[in-house]
């Protein structure tokens, strides 16, 4: 998959809750690996993950690619929505 096609792809938890869409990626240039996904998080999901709604605009979060189960037409994570609390860092 090309990186340009990866942007704006939907992200779902293991229990198929739509978390949001890929906004950007973080790359470790030394090892030439993608290390993190930066995501634009749905407002209702942000409340569940962070305990509050975003102040201005949309919430953004970052998580390690180690949480990714599969990435094809959508990104599916290894954890359920409840398990993701604390795994996604608000940025």
The arrangement of strands across the sheet holding 59-64 comes to 68-71, 75-77, 10-12, 18-28, 33-41, 59-64, 89-90
> What are the structural domains of the chain?
3-80 (2.30.30.240)
What pLDDT score does 2 carry?
Answer: 64
What pLDDT score does 57 carry?
Answer: 66
Mean pLDDT of successive 10-residue segments in the chain (91 residues)? 76 95 92 92 85 75 94 93 90 87
Return d(Cα 53, Cα 65) in angstroms, integer. Answer: 25
| Straight-line distance from the first to the last Cα atom of the chain, in angstroms, rounded to the nearest whole number | 26
DSSP 53-91: --SSS-EEEEEEGGGEEEESSSEEESS-TGGGTTTSEE-
């Amino acid at each position: 998959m090309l990186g340009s096609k990866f942007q704006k792809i939907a992200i779902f938890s293991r229990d198929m809750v739509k978390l949001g869409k890929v906004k950007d990626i973080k790359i470790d240039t030394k090892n030439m690996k993608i290390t993190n996904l930066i995501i634009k998080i749905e407002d209702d999901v942000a409340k569940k993950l962070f305990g509050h709604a975003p102040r201005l605009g949309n919430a953004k979060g970052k998580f390690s690619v180690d949480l990714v189960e599969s990435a094809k037409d959508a990104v599916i994570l290894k954890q359920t929505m409840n398990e993701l609390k604390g795994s996604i860092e608000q940025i």
